[in-house]
Amino acid sequence: MLVIVAPGQGAQTPGFLQPWLEDPTFAARFDWLSTVAGVDLAHYGTEGDAEQIRDTRIAQPLLVATGLVAALELFPHPADAFDKIGAVTGHSVGEIAAAAGARTITAEQAMVLVRERGNAMAAAADATPTGMTAVLGGDREEVLATLERHGVVAANDNGPGQLVAAGTLEQLDALAADPPAKAKLRPLSVAGAFHTEHMAPAVDHVARLARSVSVHDPRTPFISNRDGQAVHDGTDVLRRIVGQIARPVRWDLCLETMADLGVTGILEMPPAGTLTGIAKRYFRGQGVETFALDSPDQLDAARDFCEQHGEASTIDSTPTWRMVVSPAKGVFHRDEAAADADALEAGVPIGSVASLRDRIPVTAAHGGQVVEWLVEDGDPVSPGQPLLRLHPLGAA
């Protein structure tokens, strides 16, 4: 089973876009998305120095545009992708690229959103000098206790031994002077304390704009940074992407969901290497292969990788707006009222999924006539598994 992942801010390096732009088709598509974003992204991706492309206003649209155009190089006929991709996800701003790849939003909507996201986050970062520091190794509980003592937030939880602390520069300096035992600290080349309360003004700005964005349910399960849930409602995908600006990225839970889905191959879109590196450590010895697509001369090998691991997601064979799917691995408990209903209103509960970690309510986001239940009360379910088939009320 294949999962496509898109990297977040910090993955960019000077000149990384140069080989991609040698393809005239890539260059033309990239120019179009740059025009939508209102930024000369080709210039920054080829000639920008490390400090220039560190700027949030540049880095975020640069990463999303690269991922979107590279996806069209990987899958020249986009519909073919859904016969192979089991799930998609992205780290931080990579979620926007993943949402566009899953057809929840268009590429143009993605570029407007990421432009405004980057501008708003940069403005929020300018208000108070803040930053982020990777904390590698050490005892997890001791690391978290040390972060709390210094008033910094675990803004990214990337898996065992890989946390990212965020806070004011003074707080991060104090952490550097008094680090957790047996942990290494590495300051990150980012412009602010992303995924913390410092970004609240950016959430407000992007949320206002997002009210006018039309969405579709994803064509394949979208694994959310918020809690690792496999999300299948387009409105919820967009809401989570907006809220994630000021919430910690739980990449560790995204990895758990990939494991629950039975992933065998993870392909990272360019500029690649960061997320596949994390996945190699997390899935060591479990038979999960990774592919870091970092150069156009790898495209044929990447297509072979997709053929090897690809299988259609369980939700692609039926119009997605008629399905209710499981958000996580666990045991499904059906709501008694829903079980007896012939039709369901939008937003009503149909049950819950109980996992070892929590109990997640499941609702019929769109409502409709009950066609068939695809699981019984007490059945084990996996992320993205269809639970209930609905026919829209009033449809012929």
92 is catalytic: yes
Span 68-98, pLDDT tens digits? 999 999 998 877 788 899 999 999 999 999 9
* Mean pLDDT of all residues in 98-121: 97
Residue whose tokens read 């080349």: 189
Say which residues have a Cβ less than 8 Å from residue 44's Cβ, sequence separation at least 6: 52, 53, 58, 62
What the block records as the tokens of 361 is 């309510």
Mean residue pLDDT of the chain comes to 94
pTM for the complete prediction?
A: 0.91
pLDDT at 250: 97
Query: Hey, CA dihedral for 382, 223, 152, 175, is it positive or negative?
Result: positive
Tell me: pLDDT of 396 over 50. no
pLDDT at 314: 66
Query: Hey, CA dihedral for 368, 371, 374, 378, is it positive or negative?
Result: positive
Share of the chain above pLDDT 70, in %: 97
Residue whose tokens read 């590698």: 136
* Mean pLDDT of all residues in 40-68: 96
Span 305-334, pLDDT tens digits? 999 999 877 665 455 567 899 999 999 999
The active-site residue out of 34, 91, 150, 195 is 195
State the Cα–Cα distance between residues 100 and 134, nearest whole angstrom: 29
* Minimum mean pLDDT range among 154-163, 253-262, 320-329: 320-329
* Minimum mean pLDDT range among 33-47, 78-92, 338-352: 78-92
Whole-angstrom CA distances from 248 to 46, 92, 227, 353 are 31, 9, 9, 23
Tell me: pLDDT of 234 over 90. yes
What the block records as the tokens of 62 is 């640069």
Axis-axis angle for helices 200-210, 234-243 (nearest 10): 150
pLDDT at 188: 86
* Minimum mean pLDDT range among 71-85, 104-118, 222-236, 365-379: 71-85
Span 172-222, pLDDT tens digits? 999 999 999 999 999 987 779 999 999 999 999 999 999 999 999 999 999
Instruction: Give Cα 41 to chain centroid, integer Å.
Output: 22
What domains lie within the chain, and their CATH numbers? 2-124+197-309 (3.40.366.10), 127-187 (3.30.70.250), 321-391 (2.40.50.100)
- The verdict on whether omega for the bond into residue 271 sits within 30 degrees of 0, i.e. cis, is yes
pLDDT at 80: 79
